[in-house]
A and B are shown apart, each in its own frame.
Chain A
Amino acid sequence: MGVDDDPRSTLVVRAVGARELLHAVTLLGGPTGAVWTRVGGDALDLALLASAARSRSGTRRTRVLTALGVVGGITAVDLYAAARTRRMQHGRGRPGPLELQASVTVNRSPEDVYAFWRSLENLPRFMLHLQTVEDLGGGRSRWRANAPLRRRSVGWEAEITSEEPGRRLAWKSLPGADVDNAGTVHFGPTPDGRGTEVKVVLHYDVPGGRVGRAVARLLGENPVQQVRDDLRRFKQVMETGDVVRTEALPEGTDARHQVLQRPGRALKGGVR
């Protein structure tokens, strides 16, 4: 490429090589945000090449400029990867609004399905992350979710903002909640009139800092999948009377345990 054959250049080239290996190690083993260190490295490379191009002329200059172009391309790819990683991190502890939607069909009348959901204390039966929901009367309720970090539980009070029996139920957390959130459930008859289509829309305003991280852990790697699983369990409870459990998934449907399952056989000492 036309690098000068002096000790200083050799040192620089080796240092750049070592840095590349370092990127590889952090990318493989470190946090996903580590992809940004590559972008930093690219900037350094571009600066080195630019300074080299200034003091070269003729063919040597062309070669350096070609290298500059190639590294520029690599920088673009790295920037794209970093931005994409950041987007995919959304909802995993990044502060900001998060909207989740899911739906399910239940083989019961809209009135029955609504009535079960409206008794808010039923929600923890199928929403795995909730510990309790307490009806305080007057449309108010107190919600408590599993504490994902030691001595740090997430709780809030909510009020029902609108209700149309058999059609719609909406609630919103009251000021002072750890996490501002709101939800709406739509209940409507299926086209054949035999069942109910349940559509859930949840809003979270995920804060930064420790609380945000706690919320992120609560919502899991794939928040939409968790809401879908909640609705699957809801359907099971409405249609069969209970959450369906197997020896492989003693807690029932749960995306977080779906990848690494226990073998399909009973456990020593039982599971319940």
Chain B
Amino acid sequence: MKAVCFEGPTKVGVHDVPDPQILNDRDAIVRVTSTAICGSDLHLYDGYVPMVEPGDIFGHEFMGEVVELGPAVTNLRVGDRVVVPFPIACGGCRSCERGLWSLCENSNPNAGLAEKLMGHSPAGLFGYSHLLGGYPGGQAEYVRVPFADVGPMRIDDDLTDEQVLFLTDVFPTGYMAAEMCGIEPGDVVAVWGAGPVGQFAAASARLLGASEVIVVDRVPERLAMAEEKAGATTVNFEETNVLLELRELTAGRGPDHCIEAVGMEAHGDFTAVHAYDKAKQLMKLQTERPQAIREAILACGNGGTVSMVGVYGGMVDKFPLGSVMNRSLTIRTGQTHVHRYLRPLLEHIRNGDIDPTYIISHRMPLTEAPEAYDMFKHKNDECTKVVLTP
């Protein structure tokens, strides 16, 4: 089969690789019908996530048709159309029972390595480094889905692939980012990053009752999208001082909640600090470039919530901890517990509360993945989201 494989920093190729096979009784093999490139795939692509090996198959946003089932999967049938959450969860451990699906205690066979870096191990993820399991991803013609009796959700009605594909990651991730804020009527929510997750975070903040939503980015078409779809006020960090602007927009209070949907490869307006972070990141002295989260913390109003869904991999420097402590900020974060949100968000799509397809800018065949990655990374051609079809 054809699959998108990592070749080295900023290089992916479409390779002919062996078809996946059932390894555990609770596995399914899914023929992928649609898959998307996630902003977090770019962190892998750029080589900033530890333990990504040449030959690894990328992709954790995918859906398709069940073509083979392990003997222990009884709730699915061959031919079922399914969307697959990006975290792999067993359903039997304490974390899964508590709904903390992305912290499944059994799905990362490399937990020993993850523990060395992070203290304890999170769940295994599709196509997201050996540190998180070394599972082949779904930017391929076929993919093995472990614990298929727990994760995949069957889509029975006539919703299109594009309407439900983003239930695998970006829609629930944006939604969880907003939910973690504990929004109350009258609250002002600011979102850093107007990529797909930031778009859905802004839209979800509206769904959850925020009175005002502000989105910070520098890409004009993305800011325009947030304005149009989520009714957001926009702040272009290349044109203005974000902290001052947010202070003005809230009459000095700062937003009640700040959502960070940027992650480890942030671009900043403050060039000297950006150069310092970039140099340390390239020298592997830190894994992150944390401008966005720093700014979100400093901007947040006293007693507010900083909700962080941008992806970070390891260690960070110059973190404004004093601001967090002295101003009673709450930081909430996590890889999305996607399983929790599948059904409620499918309802929102079905009801017409939101049509997630608006983030799609490009539709391409899987074989053009190298061009797609390059375009998405550089945001060329107003690229916000690429859907690949095998």
- Chain A residues with a Cβ under 8 A of chain B: 105, 107, 194-195, 225, 228-229, 232, 235-236, 239-250, 252-255, 258, 261, 263-272
**A233: nearest chain-B partner, CB-CB:** B109
Residue of A nearest to B140 (CB): A265
Chain A hits for B64, CB < 8 A: none
Interface size class of B (residues with CB under 8 A): 35 or more
| Contacting pair B94 A194 (CB below 8 A) | yes
Is B222 interfacial (CB 8 A cutoff)? no
When C-beta atoms are compared, the residue in chain A nearest to B25 turns out to be A242
A232 to B93, CA, bound (A): 12
Q: Are A264 and B53 in contact (CB under 8 A)?
A: yes
Option from A243, A261, A266 in Cβ contact (under 8 Å) with B53: A261
**Given A244-B106, A246-B109, A266-B18, CB of A239 within 8 Å of CB of B93:** yes
B225-249 Cβ-contact flags toward A at 8 Å (1 or 0): 0000000000000000000000000
B90 near A266: Cβ-Cβ < 8 Å: no
With the chains together, A240 CA to B147 CA distance in Å? 9
* Most chain B beta-carbon contacts within 10 A, residue among A229, A232, A247, A271: A247
Report chain B residues within 8 Å CB of A244. 24, 90, 106-107, 109, 124, 146
Chain A residues with CB below 8 A from B20, complex form: 247, 265-266
23 residue pairs bridging A and B, Cβ less than 8 Å apart: A107-B93, A194-B94, A195-B94, A235-B105, A235-B106, A236-B106, A239-B93, A240-B91, A240-B93, A240-B147, A241-B26, A242-B25, A244-B24, A248-B130, A248-B134, A249-B134, A258-B113, A263-B5, A263-B55, A264-B127, A264-B135, A264-B137, A266-B18
Q: Which residue of B17, B72, B93 is within 8 Å of A265 (Cβ)?
A: B17
User: Which among A229, A239, A252, A265 is the interface contact of B56 at CB below 8 angstroms?
Assistant: A265
CB–CB A261/B94 < 8 A = no
Complex-state Cα separation, A198 to B21, whole angstroms: 33
* Residues of chain B contacted by A267 (CB below 8 angstroms): 18
- Complex Cα distance A236/B124, Å? 13
Alpha-carbon separation in the docked complex, A269 to B18 (Å): 8
A40 to B323, CA, bound (A): 59
Known A107-B93, A236-B106, A245-B23; contact A265-B111, beta-carbon cutoff 8 A = no
Please tell me which one of the listed residues A107, A229, A245, A253 contacts residue B97 in the complex, with CB atoms under 8 A apart: A107
* In contact, A239 and B18 (Cβ under 8 angstroms): no
Distance in Å: Cβ of B190 to nearest Cβ of chain A: 37
- Please state if A258 and B112 are interface contacts (CB–CB under 8 Å): yes
Choose among A194, A240, A245, A253 the residue that contacts B112 (Cβ–Cβ < 8 A): A253
Complex CA–CA separation, A244 to B107 (angstroms): 7
Is B19 in contact with chain A by the CB < 8 A criterion?
Answer: yes
**CB atoms of B136 and A264 under 8 A apart:** yes
5 closest A-B pairs by CB: A263-B55, A248-B134, A239-B92, A264-B56, A245-B23
Contact of A271 among B23, B55, B127 (CB under 8 A): B23
Contacts of B124 in A (CB 8 A): 244, 246
A265 in contact with B26 (CB, 8 Å): no
Residues from chain B with a CB closer than 8 A to the CB of A269 are 18
Report whether A232 and B23 are in contact in the complex, using a CB–CB cutoff of 8 Å: no
Known: A225-B112, A253-B109, A263-B55. 19 other contacts (CB 8 A): A107-B92, A107-B93, A235-B106, A236-B90, A240-B147, A241-B72, A244-B124, A244-B146, A253-B112, A254-B109, A258-B112, A258-B113, A261-B110, A263-B57, A264-B57, A265-B3, A268-B18, A270-B18, A272-B23
Q: How far is the CB of B116 from chain A (nearest CB, A)?
A: 10
Q: What 0/1 readout, one digit per residue, does chain B (75-113) give for beta carbons within 8 Å of chain A?
A: 000000000000000111110010000000111011111
Nearest A residue (CB) for B55: A263
B152 to chain A, nearest CB (A): 16
**Which residues from A are CB-within-8-Å of B130?**
248, 261, 264
Structural contact, A266 and B134, CB atoms closer than 8 A: no
- Cβ of B144 under 8 Å from chain A: yes
Assembled-state Cα–Cα distance A194/B93 (Å): 11
B303 at the interface (CB under 8 A from A): no
**Cβ proximity bits B5-38 to A, threshold 8 Å, 1 near / 0 not:** 1000000000001111101111000000000000
